[in-house]
Structure 1
Amino acid sequence: MADPLFINDLINQVLGGQIRIPSFQRGFVWDADRVAHLMDSIYKGYPFGSLLFWRTRTPLQTERNLGPFVLPENDPEYPIDYILDGQQRATSIFGVFQTTLSATAGEDDSWSKIYFDLYGDCSAQDSQFLFVPDDEVDQERHFPLKILFDPPSYRRFLKTMDESIADQVDELYRRFTTAKIPVQTFTTDDRAAVAIVFERINRLGVELDTLQLLSAWSWSDDFDLQEQFSDLADELSPYGFNDVGEDSDLMLRCCAAIIANDASPNTIIDLKGTDVRDRFQEVKTGIRGAVDFLRTNFNVHSTKVLPYMTIIIPLSVFFATESDQNTHPNANQHQVLVRWIWRTFFTRRYSKRLEQLNQDIREILKLKNGAAHSLGIFNCDIDASFFTSNVFNVRNVNAKTFILMLAAEHPLDFTGGGPIALGPVLRDCNKKEFHHIYPKAFLESIGVDRNRMNTLVNFCFLSRAANNRISGKRPSEYRSDMPAAYAQVAEILTKALCPPDIFHDDYERFIQERAAILVNKAKILMGSTDT
């Protein structure tokens, strides 16, 4: 255990360039409430966690800012302390108390404006620390923590302060200036050891954070892995898949899956730089092939509508090739791949253990080589509750699967009857292009609760123009806004996976009938039925 740091020590070491953030760390994600909660813990002397530093004299080629702040250069004569654990706490403490660095353009540092409520309740549970917007600050009530370590500002404030609260502010100053931040320092230049340490401290969080660690350094002087990832992101960006190249986790797992047929952290740690360099073109071909397959066969026009980004990992193994010619699945392989992907989405297979991903990597390699395989052979039961119990939310895995299922039918506009341009809708994937078949206003008028009206079963593709025309009307009323010809309406409803008659205004009947259609369609997509 290293000597603890006073807050002023932390600020000075950050400003001196000694304390830095490696690029494998996630960005700063705390909001103002969590920062205020940390200040309360420090003030009351409650345990608030320690900082774990990795000390090295060899700087990383890529680093991350400390929240919104660009860090000064380090003196090469001194070692660097990279934060392995406690980045959120260190960034919060530095941001609240420092007065030297300004946030970079476009970065939000409003969370650092934490105040002490001089007249708030003081108890073990309640907090007197809070975030206050600039236009709501009461200078007689809200003491800015920012000035505690800025002597000139602090002295000026003291002169304006009422004697009745002087003791309270003095105590505040004493507690923060004497508070000690526990520190552990791990000194090594063995980066594999750092990977192991980082994985172990994150084991209760996101186990695969080790993968981010390994993207922090290049494999050789003439091959910058980060640059390769960035180039691939630019290449995929026009197709809505720039997130793939920007996700170092995903990219490294694709590398490991293609090179070593295993996407686990230990495998990635063991990857040789020469193998990555020599086979990176194969990796890129595999990822490009996976993206093209998803776009062509599933209408995945951006990662926003992809239920699991990790589906790209085993899929890239199938399409990876050293040849200038892309890999093209034969009819049987194509059918197996499509069925496996639908089954993976509907069963939320990749919400579970890593081993299931590695199992699919092994089986997809067998499929690619024409060997006996079991890809997609796992339990995939589905019933009406999938559609009647899950609330529609475009960020939810089940909702994304449902959206792709609807898109597979090439839906038609409810009022005009023409094809819906799926590309723009599925690229942005926001709720504005998905609407209730039984409008909310109507359902509210008959007493249907919010969750019941917002389940997947009541949603379809519907343009804003069409929604504006039928919004608030019961189905029997908006039938007149649809094409007059019965055959055309029947086609619209069929392609929306709706029952042939939705105009009876019986919502419970509609739910039952549509859920049955959706379940049957899901089973067909998963190859679970021949109907």
Structure 2
Amino acid sequence: MSYKPSSLFNLIQSINKGLFLPHIQRPFVWEEEQMLKLFDSLMRNYPIQTLLFWKTKDEIKARKFMEEVEWDPNLSDYYEPNVSKAGCEKTFVLDGQQRLQTLYATFAGAIKGANEERLEAYFDTSNGDVMSEDGLLYALKFSKVALPRPWYRVADLVGKDGQRNSEELADDMNEHLDEAEDAQPAEARPNSADQKARQKRVRRNFAQLVSLLREDKHFWIQELDGVANNYTYGTVLDIFVRVNSGGTKLDASDLMFAAMKEGWDEIEEAIEETTALLNSTKIGFDKTFPLKCLLVVHGRGAEASAEKFTGADGAKLLADMKEGWDKAEAAFQELHDFLKTDLKVYSEKVVRSHNSFIPLFDYLYFNPKPNERSRALMRGYYYKAQLFGWYSHGTDKVINGLHSVVGQHCTGSFPMQSVKDYFSGRGYSTNLYKQDLEQTRLRFLLLNLVYVDQMGGSPFDVKCKGNEPHIDHIYPRHALSTKLGLGGAEVNTLGNFRFVGATDNIRKRAELPDSYFGRLKSYGCPIEKHLLLDEFATDTKKLVFDESTYRSFRDRRLQRIWEICDRTVNPELATAKAGGEG
């Protein structure tokens, strides 16, 4: 096994040429917030762990990195059959996909926005002196339009500025900013000291940015050479499972327990039991989650740190937590029951933010045994939070802000309107509209909502490893395109998508729907839960492969999906329309 440094430029140049992802890798799962944190860490010169590669000539299915990050990609679009063949030398990323995909999108590609627009990375070259509310020193934005200076398009460092050094880039930026500041009215101009400090930050930022891209000291690679040595697929698969299972890592909760043991020596056991209870819902909570819940309900804020459990204030907090444990334990049990019986969560993949559950615990702590109306509103809150990215930025600040809304006894039902007012004030969407059904990044969550509503969970056995639901076309995409001449917008619509088990999807042929669903029906499969329209489920021969039938089926099924989603995500609107409480 070799261990060597590499420049980011060389890594980017090798992506999708010699460097690929093996089919065993999960999809890209980082949210934009995590991408920004990685960039901030690199600008601070923090280490980001070693990348693990495997060179081989074996026949292994190879997948490309995304030049534009899609949040719910069809992975089959990215497979490279020629590279996958035996005898073709290629290098696979076993550990580091999330980091490399982020860096590729930042320095040479883009991400896709909510409306499928291309968003490129821009860096504020003048910052680095003030911490943002998200805990970041270095601001990076993905934008569909060019941002004015001091913002710098990061991809230019690989493109048009590829031959320029950091001094030239910094001097050019500072000269432009100096001229802009000098043109301001005298009272608005920064003083000489502030201007010099900004010039210094710009020089430092460009020096670090150029260093990250061009120098062989920030990225280290361990490579398993399966061409020169005997690294079989079985051995590499075992290594892959181990490096991606986490191992023994010290997290924030371990540090907090060390500070807490003196005040309440049984707390770690209580938290571990609570975490195990919550994880029986198939969600991978860590021990920090219940600790953050307890901090919030006891008025200490969601920020998890060992310092909160030290000194006189820490002793009082522990005493309060110990005294109120029975109440907290009952709220954790109610949260577990809500996840299992109301949300019917069956997989980690359907949850975008664990932190979105903390306000639900906060509410249950002060409002135990909610009525059915409150539970419907809590379901609506959960889906809104996941769909609209309510917890994508400034998570702890959001949780603390909501504590004043849900962290008290609430007369009536769950305070949905106050929650919506809070998020709309932060610029987030708060209602689901029919046009939202066509947002690519929402596809999986919306389909999951429909299947949970219709089947009470996943339609497939997710206990079988690797059998998570995949999104698949009902009317085959290729046939619609080649035989009926329909474009992507007509084919790739939620009205034509359903879930299929991953193992079935691998074996599935591009069979026409009347034949395919007719076969499933003969096997006793509840095809009405997939098709949603009784007329076609009763007689699958009505799934005729022609343009008019397809469009009619697709549009009517989309309307049915909308009715289910609207009822679930916007329960407060249905009540308001009926003249009841909002």
Given the two structures, how large is their TM-score scaled by the length of structure 2?
Answer: 0.46
Return the index of the structure with the highest Cα Rg: 1
